[in-house]
């Protein structure tokens, strides 16, 4: 786990648990990256390296994933994960930070802002969040997809065993997933998956009172045009960028397209830059 911008991995006690994170760059505006349902922090390293060129990046291992605290006694609900992020930022003294969440992490970011309106948050970047919830269209992925791949990883499966689950990924990407997927708690992932259908983040969206960008994966089917329209109604200031050729794991599918979508929004987060759009 080496990289030009990777500074170190560390732990912090926040919101009553041990939270592990990786820090990249170390200068510029702070940025907290919250990954998705089965993505330990290390799997976002290639994105954090690029972000670390301009930002002080902190990639979290969400509770029950990677090297953060786990166990059957933990609360794996959305509120707990949202409180983790707020406590993490406060404990490290981060201010005017960018909160970037992917998938589950984006839902965490939305809930965090409603629960912690006093957090020193500068802007929010939501990457293809599931918009499922009570009475809504279900999340397109099946729970068994996650459970089966995690159980294989816990048995010591190699990268080739990951290929049927993610046929478009490179060998390097699959090797990293095979190496780290076993660190994802089945209890945590199951709770999160059910939360995709039991928690309504739409009620939280109007509370996003800082500049907010939604990035939609054009080929994922997670956010449909009607979903985008509803979110715009709930938050008229919402900005939307689409990466048309990418699936849900946008940076894996189209790295350049991902950064083309987010760079203008992130530029405005830098000291001395102003967002006039």
- In our burial notation (b when 16+ CB lie closer than 10 A, e otherwise), range 107-145 reads bbbbbbbbbbeebebbbbbbbbbbbbbeeeeebebeeee
Residue 97 and residue 120: Cα distance in Å, rounded?
7
**DSSP state letter for 42:** G
Is there a domain that residue 274 lies in? no
Query: What's residue 272's pLDDT?
Result: 61
Query: What is the phi/psi pair of residue 247, to 5°?
Result: -85, -170
Query: What's residue 100's pLDDT?
Result: 98
Q: Which residues are 98's β-sheet partners? A: 31, 123
Query: What's residue 270's pLDDT?
Result: 80
Structural domain including 216 reads: 6-267
Query: What's residue 153's pLDDT?
Result: 97
Parallel, antiparallel, or unpaired for β 6-14 and 17-24? antiparallel
CATH of the domain at 243: 3.40.50.1820
Residue 201 and residue 206: Cα distance in Å, rounded?
10
Is there a domain that residue 195 lies in? yes
Is there a domain that residue 277 lies in? no
Closest to 28 measured CA to CA, from 10, 6, 55, 8: 55
Is there a domain that residue 97 lies in? yes
Query: What's residue 244's pLDDT?
Result: 96
Is there a domain that residue 103 lies in? yes
Overall domain count for the chain: 1
Is there a domain that residue 272 lies in? no
User: Please, are residues 89 and 13 in contact by the beta-carbon 8 Å criterion?
Assistant: no
Query: What's residue 4's pLDDT?
Result: 78
Is there a domain that residue 273 lies in? no
Radius of gyration of the chain (CA): 17
Query: What is the phi/psi pair of residue 123, to 5°?
Result: -165, 160
List of residues 6+ apart from 116 with CB closer than 8 A: 82, 83, 86
Helix (H, G, I), strand (E, B) or coil at 247: coil
Low-confidence ranges of the chain (pLDDT < 50): 1-2, 274-277
pLDDT digit string (tens) for 53-106? 999 999 999 999 999 999 999 999 999 999 999 999 999 999 999 999 999 999
Is there a domain that residue 1 lies in? no
């Amino acid at each position: 786990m080496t990289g030009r911008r990777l500074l170190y991995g560390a732990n912090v006690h926040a919101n009553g648990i041990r939270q592990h994170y990786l820090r990249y760059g170390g200068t510029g505006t702070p940025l907290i990256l919250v990954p998705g349902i089965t993505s330990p922090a290390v799997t976002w390293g290639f994105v954090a390296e690029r972000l670390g060129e301009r930002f002080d990046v902190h990639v979290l291992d969400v509770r029950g994933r990677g090297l953060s605290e786990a166990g059957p006694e933990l609360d794996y609900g959305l509120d707990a994960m949202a409180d983790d992020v707020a406590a993490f930022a406060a404990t490290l003294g981060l201010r005017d930070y960018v909160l970037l969440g992917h998938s589950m992490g984006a839902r965490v970011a939305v809930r965090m802002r409603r629960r912690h309106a006093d957090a020193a948050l500068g802007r929010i970047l939501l990457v293809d969040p599931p918009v499922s919830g009570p009475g809504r269209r279900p999340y397109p992925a099946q729970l068994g997809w996650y459970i089966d791949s995690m159980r294989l990883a816990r048995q010591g499966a190699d990268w080739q065993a990951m290929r049927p689950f993610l046929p478009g990924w490179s060998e390097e990407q699959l090797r990293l997933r095979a190496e780290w997927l076993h660190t994802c708690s089945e209890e945590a992932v199951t709770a999160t998956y059910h939360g995709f259908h039991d928690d309504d983040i739409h009620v939280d969206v109007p509370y996003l009172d800082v500049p907010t960008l939604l990035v939609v994966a054009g080929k994922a089917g997670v956010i449909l045009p009607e979903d985008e329209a509803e979110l715009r109604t709930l938050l008229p200031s919402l900005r939307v960028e689409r990466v048309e050729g990418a699936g849900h794991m946008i940076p894996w599918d189209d790295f350049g397209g991902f950064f083309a979508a987010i760079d203008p929004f992130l530029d405005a987060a830098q000291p001395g830059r102003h967002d006039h759009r």
